[in-house]
Amino acid sequence: MNIVGIIPARMASSRFPGKPLAKICGIPMIGHVYYRSKMSLILDEVYVATCDEDIADYMRSIGGKVVMTANTHERASDRAKEAMLKIEKTTGKKVDIPVMIQGDEPMLYPDMIEESVMPMMNDSAVEIVNLMSVIKSRGEQDDPNVVKVVVSLTNRAMYFSREPIPSRKKAKDEINNVYKQVPIIPFRRDFLIKYSELTPTPLEIIESVDMLRILEHGYSVKMVETKFETRGVDTPDDLKKVERSMSNDKIFAQYGGNGLK
């Protein structure tokens, strides 16, 4: 199978403009995501998909592969689809599984990518997978930048929200089985194309969560729990927290300094 990582990135983030090139321990955030994704043994190649020349110039400067996409995409999944088709046209090779890796997860572990893809390798009926991890604090549960998810007994997504879900009324002070989405998302090739052809949906727009388009149209999203702990970057304060953690990160030690080529 040809499994390709695609990292959508743009400078015009409403919450943190320019964050892909914001430096963490001397390396732009998009560089961290790229280097760490390249360490995955299951990916045949990794590309950054962007509409911004600044990001493209940086990726080229470190020997990374970049695909220029339209500046009109509202959803990262739509940008990933455009990039996938351009990759296929350039390489002459069909992509079997495009893995969408969000560009604001600079502390992802390469093994997480394999975790996300394995359900597809083991079951041909699985068309899309999301990772999830346990929420461990009230602050994280209340944070609108953290996408929460509730799942069925068979680990299928039931709903995604930026609000605290499930209800805390009867949970008292305990946080049990409360999960957040970890945005490493493999699609089957044809399902990513289908996603892009589906009409955007009301809940998708209200919550600003790509996966709700899939649920609202009646499709299933397989969820897989990861034990790896990561920290996404949505604000300048998040960036500072990640930088403190990054200084002691074992994976960063493998590409820090001069980085990888």
Give me the pLDDT at residue 171, please: 60
pLDDT tens per residue across span 82-128: 999 999 999 999 999 999 999 999 999 999 999 999 999 999 999 99
Average confidence score pLDDT of the chain: 92
The answer to whether the beta carbons of residues 13 and 51 sit under 8 Å apart is no
Q: Record the pTM.
A: 0.92
- Mean pLDDT, residues 154-183: 84
Helix (H, G, I), strand (E, B) or coil at 187: strand
Distance CA 221, CA 128 (A): 6
Please provide the DSSP assignment of 191-204 as one string: HHHHHHHSPP-HHH
Nearest to 66 by CA among 124, 10, 121, 16: 10
User: Residue 170 pLDDT > 70, yes or no?
Assistant: no
- List the domains of the chain with CATH numbers: 3-229 (3.90.550.10)
- Residue 256: band (very low, low, confident or very high) from pLDDT cuts 50, 70, 90: confident
pLDDT of residue 12: 85
Percent of the chain with pLDDT over 90: 82
CB 88 within 8 A of CB 63: no
Q: What is the mean pLDDT of residues 38-66?
A: 97
For residues 129 and 24, what is the distance between their CA atoms, to the nearest angstrom? Answer: 29
- Output the pLDDT for position 261: 39
pLDDT exceeds cutoff 50 at 259: no
